[in-house]
Amino acid sequence: MDMQQLEDRMAFSGTRAAMPGFVRLPSARQLTVQMMQNPQILAALQERLDGLVGSPSGYMESLPKVVKRRVNALKNLQVKCAHIEAKFYEEVHELERKYAALYQPLFDKRSDIVKAAYEPTDEECEWKADDEEELTVSKPEEMKEKAKVEEEKKDEEKEDPKGIPEFWLTVFKNVDLLSDMLQEHDEPILKHLQDIKVKFSDQGQPMSFSLEFYFEPNEFFTNTLLTKTYKMRSEPDESDPFSFDGPEIMGCTGCTIDWTKGKNVTLKTIKKKQKHKGRGTVRTVTKTVPNDSFFNFFTPPEVPESGELDEDSEAVLAADFEIGHFIRERIVPRAVLYFTGEAIEDDDDDYDEEGEEADDEEGEEEGEEENDPDYDPKVGGRMPTVDLM
């Protein structure tokens, strides 16, 4: 009887664990877990996987020469498709520019209401949400009248605010992408933000868009307008035409903020002690260093002509492009819904649906893994991506 037959028989009869001197051989899963905990094995495996990325499967090499020629013809057709797609996105940009002019009067009126330059009529203010309509139907007349009196009493007790105070600051605080940029010292400044506009490049000019931030006079800086311009390109890269997937942001330029003396929140003063090497005396040196602030948004890293950036600058620009695109595509067109939180709830609902599916799948896997005595938990992640269209 060989060892495998002996193991099988003992496992079946229940005597395997009780046999004196018997050493249980590790399972294949145990061996795998032990190997994956070895950093040298992991490094070698990663090196091997990196070498496989982008490597040909060998199928193309196996094709007859006459077939390869035809495949090359298809690739040339694909390049032409990429150039047509680029033209398509250029026309989309022109449509955006055209319809931006139609939206702008509505956005201007929104701005006038926010900054109290215009008081909307009763008819313009009439709005009933679905839940309010249900409550109106179900409430007795006495309760409705009592609620109306209490509401009027509260309004009398409050001071009459002008426009919609802190409208844009509230929008920023409600959006995670923007609130992560906000610091406590930014909030008093953003209370003076009255409007944000998107301005597209003129017809026939290179693709670009600008974000215009309008401020009322304030004690922090003398500017009434801060701008950020994003330059875009919609054409395939000659060296890699198949990578084209719509317009890409090539760079951005900010503006100079004319800070009032002592009010620049993008800088801070620190005191540092220095010890003299020879005499051993200590002196205190005051230095001005960069400070975290939303207003660093207006001084992005410059992209050199070579296009080569260090990793930190690349990360800053990638985050900057995502924020600029989000302000253009979502914040400006739907500002009131981010102010009330309704747009955020819609976004959360979308994520919840995906999250529930993912959670269910993960829950099943975790349940199976937790029941497995050989389970060894790992943590992984991936880099986020940004789509411009």
Measure the CA–CA gap between 146 and 152, rounded to whole angstroms: 10
Phi then psi dihedrals of residue 109, to 5 deg? -65, -40
pLDDT at 281 (0 to 100): 79
Q: What is the pLDDT of residues 224-276, one digit of tens each?
A: 999 999 998 888 888 888 888 878 778 899 999 999 999 999 999 888 877 77
3-state secondary structure of 290: strand
In contact, 351 and 279? CB cutoff 8 Å: no
Percentage of the chain beyond pLDDT 90 is: 40
Distance CA 263, CA 268 (A): 10
- pLDDT digit string (tens) for 109-146? 999 999 999 999 999 999 876 455 444 445 566 665 66
Domain layout of the chain by residue ranges:
62-238+246-357
Count CA atoms closer than 13 A to 230's CA, side-chain side. 24
Cα gap 138→166, rounded to integer Å: 35
The pLDDT score that the predictor gives to residue 147 is 63
DSSP-derived 3-state class of residue 325: helix
pLDDT for 355 beyond 80: no
H or E element at residue 125: helix 122-125
Q: How many CA atoms lie within 13 A of 168 on its CB side?
A: 25
Closest to 193 in 3D by CA, of 222, 213, 221: 213
Query: Which has more pLDDT, 112 or 151?
Result: 112
Lowest mean pLDDT among 28-42, 193-207, 233-247, 347-361: 347-361
Query: Is CATH 3.30.230.10 what the domain over 62-238+246-357 is classified as, yes or no?
Result: no
Of 195, 109, 116, nearest to 163 by C-alpha is 116
SS3 25: coil
- Are the beta carbons of 192 and 216 closer than 8 angstroms? yes
